[in-house]
Each structure stands twice: as structure tokens, then as C-alpha cells.
Structure 1
């Protein structure tokens, strides 16, 4: 289980806030959870960046349905082959100049 999944399964939403991690509800974090986040920050940022690439790809093909976007991300979290497939698609979109 990834660090991101572990903290999400504890009832938190993790997101990028600029170059920092954001988490809600932050007030509910225990000291061990805070330490866990600190020690896994790089891993979580990498994972969030990966999912953002997929979200950007979905936007490029005009997919805006939040349920489909969520389903796509969730399927990538549970199946490495699915994640690889979506990342290949994401890597194929035109990069901004």
C-alpha cells in the first residue's frame, strides 16, 4: 500500500498546495501521522504528480466528468498495469511550449 493510500484510508484528503503538501482535515492528524507524512513526503508528492499527469491527459481529451476522473485515478491506484496504460496516454499529449 502506498503512503498516499495509507493516509487517505485514515480519512484524509492529500493534495498539492504549490510545492507543499496540503491535507484536510489537518487538525485531526495525530503526531504519528504527522511524522509519517514528513518521512514519506517525497513519495506522496511523486504519486500526486503522477495522478495529476493523468488528470491533465483526461482534460486534454475533454473528459470533465468528476466520477469518471475519480474512477480512472482509483483504478490506477489499485492496478499497476492500468496506471501504466494511463501514464502512456498522458505522456503522449502535447507539451506546452
Structure 2
């Protein structure tokens, strides 16, 4: 379950990065000081912001994913899981 929560947070961070990037690309024009360097640093800052927002559960996407997939994991029964191989029996000394 811990791995599911971590993966859900990572997914939310990717989603937020895409959202922020799309919002940023919808700007009305280039600034006076815009260059490839400032764009690179802006992208890094956006990624960091997205990770921080996802860590706090800003949109709640991760919580919804955990709720949806956690319910599926909880309903998985041991008989649905792959069988484990049986240990070999000790049949005594070789003949």
C-alpha cells in the first residue's frame, strides 16, 4: 500500500507539471528577458513546484488513485495470487 501511495503522488506530480506547462505556454507574449536559459530555469522551478504540490496533496489526485486502486488491492484474495512453489521433501539418504 505504501508503494501505491508513492506512485500515486508521483503521478500527481507529473500531472501537475503538465498542467503548469500548459498554463505557462498560454502566456500572451515573450518577456523582455526571456531566453532559453530562463526557460530552462522556469521549467525546473515548475517541476519543483509540481512536486511540492503533489507532496501536499494539493489537487487530491493521488488520494483518489489510492482510494480506487487500494480498494482493488484489498479485494484481491490469496487464491488470486500466484501459488508459491512447495519446498522439496527430504526423502532420506540416497540409495
TM bin (shorter chain): 0.3 to 0.5
TM-score (norm: length of structure 1): 0.34
Q: Which has the higher strand share?
A: 1
- Structure of higher RCO (CA pairs closer than 8 Å, 6+ residues apart): 2
Bigger Cα Rg: 2
TM-score (norm: length of structure 2): 0.35
